[in-house]
Chain A
């Protein structure tokens, strides 16, 4: 069965610290997609990144980076030099090739960045 696990419920850091949010997934498909979304206090989820299962190359976008490792079924998200504006709930999600419109979300990780 498909499942996304975000074991970290809440993380608190001080500004400028690096922080990694963990995401572990389960799927029987060989073709699937992984996502990260950010939910700031305003409530609406904001899309951050999508990766397909055939592309294990790590990605960097400014202070954000993602590490995809099929061997450990993980898709971890690192924020470098965190800022107060990074405070939000972050969700990892999975969709499978046979049912690509359906996103399976993890339970989310609340990140608090203190000044």
Chain B
């Protein structure tokens, strides 16, 4: 079974802090994704990566950055957390490029910024 794990289920941070959300997949998938999920808005893509050290902006990249130094690990960074970044963050991975490959999701990190 594909396993996507995220470093924390719940996280509370203060405004202005630098926040790291970590995601690890164990199935040698090429693509990795970060989404945020908000009530009434569904899932929105923040960034994705199709290879080590490669990244592409999604729909809402502002205020975020990412890092992919190893194939299995994809980090989401909030340089200076703000209260409007309070949300559920979901990581996903897929085997390769193209929609013949479904995305596998982690359990999510619920981040609260106070």
Contacts and interface: CB of A to CB of B under 8 A. Distances in A.
Nearest to B45: A102
A100 B102 contact: no
A100 B103 contact: no
Nearest to B110: A43
A44 B94 contact: no
A14 interface: no
A44 B42 contact: no
A95 B45 CA distance: 12
Given A100-B98, A101-B50, A44 B105 contact: yes
Contacts of A50: 99-100, 102
A25 interface: no
B97 interface: yes
Given A44-B107, A91-B42, A91-B43, A101 B97 contact: yes
The 5 residue pairs across chains A and B that have the minimum distance between CB atoms: A33-B99, A45-B105, A105-B42, A43-B108, A107-B42
Interface of A is mostly: strand
14 contacts: A35-B102, A42-B107, A43-B88, A44-B90, A45-B103, A50-B99, A100-B98, A101-B31, A101-B48, A102-B45, A102-B58, A103-B45, A105-B44, A107-B42
B7 to A, nearest CB: 14
Nearest to A35: B102
Interface of B: 4, 9, 31, 40-45, 48, 50, 58, 88, 90, 92, 94, 97-100, 102-108
B28 to A, nearest CB: 17
A77 to B, nearest CB: 16
A44 B106 contact: yes
B43 A100 contact: no
Given A91-B43, A101-B50, A105-B43, A43 B107 contact: yes
Given A45-B105, A47-B102, A100 B97 contact: yes
A52 B40 CA distance: 26
Given A45-B43, A101-B94, A101-B99, 16 more contacts: A43-B90, A44-B4, A44-B90, A44-B108, A45-B103, A50-B99, A50-B100, A100-B97, A101-B48, A101-B50, A101-B97, A103-B43, A103-B45, A105-B44, A107-B42, A108-B42
